[in-house]
Amino acid sequence: MDKKKFIIDSLKESANVKTLVIEHCLNQIIEVADLFCNCIRNGNKIMLCGNGGSAADAQHIATELMIRLAHDLQRPAIAAIALSTDCSNLTAGGNDIGFENIFMRNVEGIGKKGDILFGISTSGNSMNIIKAMRKAKEMAITRICLLGMGGGKLINECDSYILIPSNNVQRIQEAHITVGHILTELTERTLYGS
């Protein structure tokens, strides 16, 4: 294996996917940032969920919203919570009501009308996120998905989505966290920038 070639090819592919995001996702990103801002202005919260690397991204984005991303900006907390952070909740849910119901149960328990449920899935086929989106719809919670691989089943379960134009899990995840940072900074600067 030519390690230098592998590194160069990986970085070029990552850069190419980000260029495709510019070409295909700008309006989607603006729409979602506007939804985030309206949600917070109305006194509601953003709930985030995902599995595996997407769970880590959900936690990362929730933390940036709650604490801050732009260090030149002094602002209050933005109400955001990752539904994947409580291991007692997740393991009890997985054991007692099934792993496919863990996020749905949390949406049912802490969600309220006007909140946002932000689901992150590279494949778009995570059943626990699909069920959470269906519960959110019942509760008049805005459903947003950050997707890849054509969107999978989740593309039809959300009110708004950002679809990364790639089928490579690594590149989708890299674009997801970039988009997450952009959404966070757009939200905090729109709400609290000078």
> pLDDT tens, 110-133?
999 999 999 999 999 999 999 999
Question: Is the distance from CB of 191 to CB of 78 less than 8 angstroms?
Answer: yes
| pLDDT value at residue 52 | 97
pLDDT of res. 176: 98
Q: Residue 137 belongs to a domain with what CATH number? A: 3.40.50.10490
The parent domain of residue 175 ranges over 3-192
Q: Does residue 99 contact residue 72 with C-beta atoms inside 8 Å?
A: no
Q: Is the pLDDT of residue 194 over 90?
A: no
pTM over 0.85: yes
Q: Which amino acid is at 74?
A: Q
Of the chain, the percentage scoring pLDDT greater than 70 comes to: 100
The owner of tokens 């393991």 is 91
The arithmetic mean of pLDDT across residues 147-168, rounded, is 98
Instruction: Give residue 51's pLDDT.
Output: 97
pLDDT at 150: 97
Q: What is the pLDDT of residues 175-193, one digit of tens each?
A: 999 999 999 999 999 999 9
| First vs last C-alpha separation in the chain | 51
Q: What is the mean pLDDT of the chain?
A: 97
Considering only CA atoms, which of 17, 11, 21, 55 is closest in space to residue 167? 17
Q: Where are the alpha helices (DSSP H) in the chain?
A: 3-41, 53-66, 87-96, 102-110, 127-138, 169-192
Q: How many domains does the chain have?
A: 1
Residue reference for tokens 């997407």: 54
Residue 121 DSSP one-character state: E
Sheet of 142-147, strands arranged across: 80-82, 46-50, 116-121, 142-147, 160-163
- pLDDT value of position 3: 97
